[in-house]
Structure 1
């Protein structure tokens, strides 16, 4: 073919331009053949297959399954660009739903008198998300990626609408849970679509661009949330998802075509058997039990209360049964033992669990610190939160570009825990009179760590596994990240309320219950000027103590990074399976 007539796009779409494939002649000499990725995928004539089979060297046994897989037919550059735009919009929409809420929470608690429900606004969303991510992984394996993805996005939009019209705190929590159901399929689906539409060596850059939407939404979210809360209504924090989600549906509906190679030929009965209904029915109540125990323990009930003990015992029993079912179910299990035994998969899952827990604690409690301690508006607190969020954006993109350039993601997974732990530790030292230089610098360090590390587990499973295993492994990693967020937002809420109650009890002349009920934004309206300094110190101590949770989880994430193999993403079509 004439290479001069071929399209030559740049950057991550360069894989669509002509490339040279060296083939060995029968006499042992080498010749070069120019082709394109799309052309080679379409050239399926018997003659071409016979000729290539004669000259293709045999793969070593350790990677035979990799070479046996067909070369995917990637979309053209302009179509891939529009697909990525659609994916970026969907992740932006999801991330916005989390970060826009952070600055609105104080106003919501004021209106609904629901300071004790703050943990549930985040946990209800994350709970339903993490409970169904694994089920969506199965759906993506056996059904059209495109339609499963759009279904998840539609459910997310419905949940956002319910939140927007919620008349009370309970309705808001229900809406958040519905949105979480849809979100379970959106994030993992975006990563799966990237794996189906782009070559491996460019996936770090594309994945970094998509995950940077978390950072961009984190920048826009607090500002938008503050503006809506201060000037319109906090309800617009949820209504805004509707037009953004509509644009996403348009792009994905028109420009993404699920590759035929990932579609299953199994019948309906066999597909249903793959969903591990017994495991799902055991796992979901198990997660609910531990979340309720963490939410209620030490606040609503004492830790020694029979309800808390029963919840923890039931959690242990249900998870034990779930593990047995997974071992017995083998390939039909929700979490196939073959995958979880792979050190790259369980290492990536542990890393995601810890980093997710650390990041969401900071996202939820930094705005509370700014509004309560510094006495600023929701909009101003969003601006003051920018250093952390901008650093997440910048270093997500930088890390993706560096991985695509040098090939290795493991170094970033080793640096990330150090920066997160150091940044979180510095945040925990903030006081009522901390200067801007302190809280800006501390946020940047924490954001650098989160930005460098959050996307890497997705690259691990894409580089280390066969393409057929990517949907399930991607779901496992996404599940552990959201589970970490769900659990440790509740843990932080428990720490915050216990510490605040203890600190306020030491301030004379105030009613701790009334101060806690007032919420962060109304704090200065329920105490006198003489009492305010002591109350602020009490509040500051409670909020900064929650950052110890972020420190601990950030430090523990190093144990997920250590077992990860050093596999290069450069020059590989699909990463070989690890032992």
Structure 2
């Protein structure tokens, strides 16, 4: 019989005590121009991470045209979010136990390699591999920004500089810190689709132009950020320098990442195959879903046995409020990110507009998300009342998704703008509220850990539900074509891509194809609406539980 022993009960090497006095440490910190240059590299790195979340939204129809890969649309967004989520904790611990400069440089290398793979990809599979590799590097850049700021400024000034990079600080029961990605994601959400649409439409003419420019521009920015870090950033030696390599690797919880990543990939494969390539009842699809569940159970077992070395410490999940907030942000993110990707397909495939114009027409959605986030964070910081945003946000977002679902093709621009505003403000009001609440529920030293866990659930929701929406889109498109009694083969529609339907199909077949597209997109909007309804239910549970506890305590 094998006994499962929690590894936090084992002795592990203690970190080396800090060397020198506080005054000596402060004297070694960069100042003036050197400090500004390092901060510039961190801002650029965070901007790259956030930009890669949305930049392909307006390029997807052209990518599917070139690769004839409409059925793989979900992977283009999911692959990035999948690895970015799974490796958040790994990189965070790497910055703790290894040299900060070397770790950041390795992270930039992953990001740049992934970017180059995307820019040079000859087919859809290679492009997806590039997106996944970029996500691994993106997780390193996001974690590295926090770690480097902590080592270049004094604690008294740290909040100011993290705020300069995008964080929001304030009072809410206790000192809380929201993700430093908030403002940068807001900027990138607005700029990303515009950049993608501009490059796709106005830089055509060679195999290395068009949508590929969205990735080429990342290369010099990433190299600049890396060079600045190498030549200007000189961190103190790691406090864990005496710890053996094996112990450092164990602390990174790679054994937990492997089954988690496998579980998520198997789920995505099942969504990819089901209904279009293979029947849902096929052995391959059922096997993928069963394998996903088994790997998830293995991950849970590994995390439980790893104790404080785990990617997700179980002590956080003992708090019911934190569990509700994690489920909340998972489904809300699953409403928002599919909207960015599939509304862009709606504009280009059904409304027949160009990529640059599609980027402009997405501005009401992404801009209102950014404004709504700032309003909610400011309100919570100054006044409290997170319940207001916790409930009103998903109600508005779900209403917006349902309005988009009922809208259909051929609607005027004014209605599209109005419905995107409703959806955008709803998501913005609610998306970062669970982050603020979760931080208020833990001790100050646990804030980085709970931020990482919350970001993991947010990105996982985006990854898994983008692919689920893609499965709904493809399945409904195939069924609609069959019901139309058209002679068009669904395979030819899927392989044609979404950017040039009107040139690929003749007038006799085009109506059936466009109707099938609209039915498929409506299926994705319905999945988004269901995610919104679940989020509303979770917010009601959270509010009712809070009120019940307050009533019991007052008795």
| Contact kept? 1:127, 1:177, Cα under 8 Å | yes
TM-aligned CA distance change 1:74 to 1:395, over 3 Å = farther
| Partner residue in 2 for 1:429 | 406
Q: Is the partner of 1:198 in helix, strand or coil?
A: helix
Deviation larger for 518-527 or 131-140 = 131-140
Q: Is the partner of 1:316 in helix, strand or coil?
A: helix
Deviation at 1:275, TM superposition (A): 2.8
- Taking the aligned partners of 2:50 and 2:533, their CA distance within structure 1 comes to 24
Gaps of 5+ in 2: 1-20, 170-176, 204-209, 547-555
For residue 505 of structure 2, the aligned residue among 527, 541, 546 is: 527
- Taking the aligned partners of 2:52 and 2:142, their CA distance within structure 1 comes to 13
| Contact kept? 1:187, 1:478, Cα under 8 Å | no
| Partner residue in 1 for 2:243 | 267
| Contact kept? 1:355, 1:553, Cα under 8 Å | yes
- Taking the aligned partners of 1:380 and 1:245, their CA distance within structure 2 comes to 28
| Contact kept? 2:66, 2:497, Cα under 8 Å | no
Deviations 1:487-518 (A, max 9, x none): 11110111001111111223344413323322
How many residues in Structure 1 have an aligned counterpart in Structure 2?
Answer: 498
**Counterpart check, 1:227 vs 2:203:** no
- Taking the aligned partners of 1:81 and 1:412, their CA distance within structure 2 comes to 36
For residue 204 of structure 1, the aligned residue among 161, 165, 168 is: 168
Q: What's the TM-score once normalised by structure 1's chain length?
A: 0.77
Deviation at 1:259, TM superposition (A): 8.9
For residue 546 of structure 1, the aligned residue among 521, 524, 534 is: 524
Q: Is the partner of 1:303 in helix, strand or coil?
A: coil
Deviations 1:223-252 (A, max 9, x none): 221221122111101011123334544666
Q: Is the partner of 1:234 in helix, strand or coil?
A: helix
Q: Which has the larger radius of gyration?
A: 1
Deviation at 1:364, TM superposition (A): 1.0
**Counterpart check, 1:369 vs 2:346:** yes
For residue 168 of structure 1, the aligned residue among 123, 126, 139 is: 123
TM-aligned CA distance change 1:280 to 1:556, over 3 Å = same
TM-aligned CA distance change 1:142 to 1:412, over 3 Å = farther
| Partner residue in 1 for 2:263 | 286
Deviation at 1:321, TM superposition (A): 2.2
| Contact kept? 1:192, 1:471, Cα under 8 Å | no
| Contact kept? 2:53, 2:80, Cα under 8 Å | no
| Contact kept? 1:146, 1:252, Cα under 8 Å | yes
**Counterpart check, 1:481 vs 2:442:** no
Deviation at 1:264, TM superposition (A): 4.7
Deviation larger for 359-368 or 451-460 = 451-460
- Taking the aligned partners of 1:191 and 1:558, their CA distance within structure 2 comes to 32
| Contact kept? 2:149, 2:161, Cα under 8 Å | no
| Contact kept? 2:162, 2:180, Cα under 8 Å | no
Deviation at 1:150, TM superposition (A): 4.4
Deviation at 1:350, TM superposition (A): 1.9
For residue 330 of structure 2, the aligned residue among 328, 342, 353 is: 353
| Partner residue in 2 for 1:177 | 132
Deviation at 1:91, TM superposition (A): 3.0
**Counterpart check, 1:398 vs 2:375:** yes
Deviation at 1:287, TM superposition (A): 1.8
- Taking the aligned partners of 1:463 and 1:139, their CA distance within structure 2 comes to 26
| Contact kept? 1:96, 1:218, Cα under 8 Å | yes
Deviations 1:47-90 (A, max 9, x none): xxxxxxxxxxxxxxxxxxxxxxxxxx999899987776554433
Q: What's the TM-score once normalised by structure 2's chain length?
A: 0.80
